Amino acid sequence: MAEIFSTIFTFNNVLMMFIGVFAGIIIGVLPGLGTTFAVTVLLTITFGMDSYSGMYLLLGAYVGSVYGGSITAILINTPGTNSAVATAFDGYPMAEQGRAGDALNAALFASTIGGLVSAFALMFFAPQLAKVVNLIASPEYFCLCIFGLCAAVSVAGNNRIKGLICACFGLLIACVGMDPAYGTNRFTFGYYRLLGGFRFSTVMLGAYAMSTVLIKCHEAYISGTKGAEPIQFHRSNFHFHHTFRYWKTLIRSSIYGVVIGAIPGTGSAISAMLGYNAAKRGSKNQENFGKGEIEGVIAPECANNAVTGATMIPLLTMGIPGDGATAVLLGALTMQGVIPGKQLFSEGSIWVYAIMGGLIVVNLVMLLQGSVMIRLFANVTRVPLTVLMPCIVVTCFMGAYALGNSTFEIVVMIAFGMIGYLMKRFDFPIPPLTIALVLGSLCESNLRRSMLVSHNNWAVFVTRPVSVLILLLAVAFMLIPTINKFLQERKITKKLDIDNVEAVD
């Protein structure tokens, strides 16, 4: 225990947590950039850091950006991230009523509580899951990868065909380089730099950061150098202990966040929406929701931050990322030479426990920074995009170069920037691609091993109870949006029929 404490509380590590949370909140505040963008951009400066400092910086950015999205959602009705969409439903009406301070404080306190619950869930569940992982064989691992991909496709958007194409494309990109079993070159086109395949971090920088730059430059060209108007603040009477008045909402939202976060391929946006809906259903003040109900701010904020630790459960135990941002974290781990999986828990190393403990401290750092610097964070929106874009370009270029010490990485980043831009332009979701890219080698090696063990019998995946169960869950995930749509249409038709009957009567 003392060793874990001394590892976490070094000057460097605490400084990195502060920088990470600060940068994360600022990026989270800026609409359209998002959590994955924050983690990806900061990944570039983890080069040369030790694994603790690097991870604390990225965890800070991850947690901070999830919270940061709520600030602009409340103040200017523009969610900085997808996970803050539900926060705007009641946060902005509160700001209009002159209760912006209360809403901001409620969001901060709920986010901190959600984040802490999630960190404790990680501490409790990850070691248990790591024990179970020992029992999982290749067919189950392959099915888990398929499940992660299906979940990512299912939540990425309405067009699941395009999502599946992106996932397959991601798996295909992961094939580039030397085949791990036979050493055969695959899609290298005779270029020796491609023998090791594409560096995941570089692809992420391109697909997320560069494609965003291409899109935002277009917006900046139209909007010019105008920043947002100065933001009005109101004094807050909502203090930390007031949050516990809504303990039922806090518990419910935390559970939603932890469960959704632990499912590979999902993310904080869904948990926030589910948390909000559950709070609305269970509240005595249902009719006030959407009109400035503080519970409507607490529920989604607690739920979206409760995802942050839970997404690390499948990441650290099985090497399967929970969402896009943790996919980047996985890239960072690989860069640092840390291989996620059951061995992290079984070798008696304190690394994983120091990371879990660090996540708790990161949440407290967020509480501190959020309380002290809220005005500064809110005014970040006044910085014009025109200035931000070249700064992001320079950061990404230097970072990409640092990742491989070569300009080849820059070329890869630019190429994937264009691919990402075209994907966004033609409605192809990026998250399935990035998650597939991470899962690619895991997926192929386990498929190959399963085939070898079963003497090329594909039935191996449907004759083992656990793999069948995982596959069924994957299919269910793919079908949920269709079933939901069908039920909603049926509900509307029924309502119309009743209205018609009443009109005739």
Partner 1 sequence: MKEIKKKTESVITLFLLMVLAVVTRIWILPAQIPETNAALNTSGTFTPRTFPGLLLVVIAVLCFVGVVSNLVSLIKLRRQYADELSAKKPEKEKKSFGQIVENLIPYIIFAILILYWFLITKIGFLISTLIITTMILALLRCKKWYLYLATWIYSGTLYLIFTKVLYVRLP
| Residues in touch with partner 1 (CB under 8 A) | 45, 47-49, 161-162, 164-165, 168-169, 171-172, 175, 179, 181-182, 184-189, 210, 213-215, 217-218, 220-222, 224-225, 384-387, 389-391, 393-395, 397-398, 401-402, 405, 407, 410-411, 414, 417-418, 421, 426-427, 444, 447-448, 451-452, 455-456
The Cα-based distances of 453 to 139, 280, 298 in angstroms read: 10, 51, 50
Nearer to partner 1, 216 or 252 (CB): 216
Least distance from partner 1 to the Cβ atom of residue 20, Å: 15
Nearer to partner 1, 411 or 473 (CB): 411
Nearer to partner 1, 49 or 315 (CB): 49
Nearer to partner 1, 134 or 456 (CB): 456
Residue 366 to residue 111: CA distance in whole angstroms: 9
Tell me the two tokens of residue 237: 């009477």
Least distance from partner 1 to the Cβ atom of residue 422, Å: 9
Least distance from partner 1 to the Cβ atom of residue 215, Å: 7
Nearer to partner 1, 85 or 178 (CB): 178
Interacting residues of 128 by C-beta distance below 8 A, sequence separation 6+? none
Least distance from partner 1 to the Cβ atom of residue 340, Å: 22
Residue 366 to residue 369: CA distance in whole angstroms: 5
Q: Is 358 within 8 Å of 316 (Cβ atoms)?
A: no
Widest distance between CA atoms in the chain: 79
Least distance from partner 1 to the Cβ atom of residue 470, Å: 19
Nearer to partner 1, 88 or 194 (CB): 194
Residue 70 to residue 503: CA distance in whole angstroms: 44
Q: Which of 91, 119, 89, 84 is nearest to 106 (CA)?
A: 91
Tell me the two tokens of residue 367: 């509480």
Least distance from partner 1 to the Cβ atom of residue 146, Å: 12
Nearer to partner 1, 17 or 171 (CB): 171
Residue 327 to residue 274: CA distance in whole angstroms: 23
Residue 470 to residue 446: CA distance in whole angstroms: 15
Q: Is 35 within 8 Å of 268 (Cβ atoms)?
A: yes
Q: Which of 7, 8, 2 is nearest to 360 (CA)?
A: 8
Least distance from partner 1 to the Cβ atom of residue 122, Å: 29
